[in-house]
Structure 1
């Protein structure tokens, strides 16, 4: 085995049996071109996280604008990263509205979330939406990494059939679209995501190598150990520590995936079957997917990711937080206080998983800062209140500083009916992939900087 240097991503790669393990940037072996250009900073990353059924806005929206706002109940778990966070109120997805197409708000909410395009109402093969913002960026800059983008989810969903009042299941199950007729399928099995990121070859080859490693009962790290030892002898003290910390993180994720594979599969109240290899613990499932995104960003496997915490209209129950009713059923609260209370706890649970993701990014060194400093993480829903199914004043968070291009730690309120696609335009600018329009955009969100 030998150590391979990738000119494209400027990352060291360790190789073994069916394993291609990219490492974080290491100062000791940084290419001379990079060392000679200290102004060349770390790359920017983008992730978009979708939650279904809206939120309970009274417990979501901060009362104060600007800096120093108090976090309401739902956003409470974000306290450790509040200074890295922007709460954005007032954004709208007009194309999530019926606009003459009748019922089907949930399907439209997923389809429009990153496209800003009115989906064609059909349950057949002639689906149509628009190119999503993540794919706009991937098509412009995805060649810089092994994977142009990464699409993840925590419910399997379906790609065909009628899922919502005449709308195809493809609309409810996907937020990423590479063209107006081609949704990008998400991966829901953490093990398969891991193999994709760190496998070395095509999917069938990855499957065969994973099976062989399983038979040998070895970690992927066991197969690159010679390469790793050779590399460590060439590193300085800081880089040795960084390498050991990273490899320990990879091994811990492997162990967690293995535990989820070995544990007995419990009956979980979800709309779709849980694929093999998925933890029975929903929170652990989300956190594993968050870890996949962190590692993908850390190793420069990709710089663009999407994750659906659940499909549009999901009726998953949350018994682990003592809520037996389905999420979608509760979202039709009709003003009942008891249902409000349960909805806000579901919302808080989702936000707690986001907080985990953001803190992992913040604790991962990147250049002179950390991954969160050099990222833009957009979290939200294209439905505001689940009972009204309205698409204005959407619950949206933007975390990260985009390498100093965003003044975070604030609650801002944009003008009424400002398209959410205006936020996407601003994000693309900061990502280095500006375009003339996305979906129904009319400009940019100027409030991202002071």
Structure 2
């Protein structure tokens, strides 16, 4: 912990280098550098606040220091870190599992004290289905937050969202029966035309969607997993 406090901000170690770099940059690149440094510091402050406050329950398992007790803040921090990494071109691929399989997490903060997993096996009970819908909407709020962060992050003449393909999916079409057909999937970003509902032919593998996404990103893939061809319609302007 003493080492963590001593190195409270990574920016302290790069301040002089950043200042020298800024002197050699044009106005637009300098603005982008300032934006990145400001975003980095803002995330550092949020992590420091989390480390100073109550920690998330983890039973007998060891956990990294600084995990917020607030689930929503934890998720937003993870999203912001991913956006920051993409902004700096540290990575061009990122995945994030919001709700793991068989999760027994409860959501009292949104009025659902019941286990998520048990609600997913609702048995057509109307009350359980309504609570599950509340959790689903809550998770979708985080997806909207991710899109918002990408859209407000400058990248060249546009935003990160303009050049990013974002896929939000689920493991089941009907969790009650563990039915993995008719999966609900959202594809967003500047590479696809929004405002459409594409219905894939019955039996279409998810790999077809992923193959179509790779080709939209100019990855010269001819096959992916068990694909039978790129999903029709995704690349339509």
Q: Which has the higher contact order (CA 8 A, sep 6+)?
A: 1
| Moved segments of 4+, more than 4 Å | none
Give the match's secondary structure for 2:177. coil
**Number of matched residues?**
235
Q: Mapping of 1:160-309 within 5 angstroms?
A: 212=3, 214-216=4-6, 218-267=8-57, 273=61, 275-276=63-64, 277-309=66-98
- In the alignment, which residue of structure 1 is the partner of 2:103? 314
Deviation at 1:217, TM superposition (A): 5.3
What is the CA-CA distance between 1:376 and the residue it aligns to? Answer: 0.8
Question: Which of 299, 323, 339 does residue 112 from structure 2 map onto?
Answer: 323
CA distance in 2: counterparts of 1:358 and 1:316, whole angstroms: 25
Tell me the C-alpha RMSD between the 2 structures.
2.1
- 1:415 is matched with which residue? 201
TM-score scaled to structure 1, two decimals?
0.49
**Residue 350 in structure 1 maps to residue 139 in structure 2:** yes
Distance 1:305 1:367 in 2: 20
Determine the structure 2 residue equivalent to 1:426. 212
Pair 1:426–1:227, CA change in 2 (3 A): same
**1:44-123 alignment runs, 5 A limit:** none
Q: How does 1:340-419 map to 2 (within 5 A)?
A: 340-402=129-191, 406-419=192-205
Tell me if the contact between 1:314 and 1:327 (Cα under 8 Å) persists in the aligned partners. Answer: yes
Query: CA 1:350–1:331 in 2, change beyond 3 Å: closer, same or farther?
Result: same
Higher strand share: 1
1:445 aligns with 2:235: no
Alpha-carbon displacement from aligned partner over 1:362-392 (angstroms, at most 9, x marks no partner) = 1111122111110111111121111121111
SS at match of 2:199: strand
**Is 1:425–1:434's contact at 8 Å kept on the other side of the alignment?**
no
* Counterpart Cα distance in 1 of 2:215 and 2:6: 48
1:279-299 deviations in Å (ceiling 9; x for gaps): 111111111111111011111
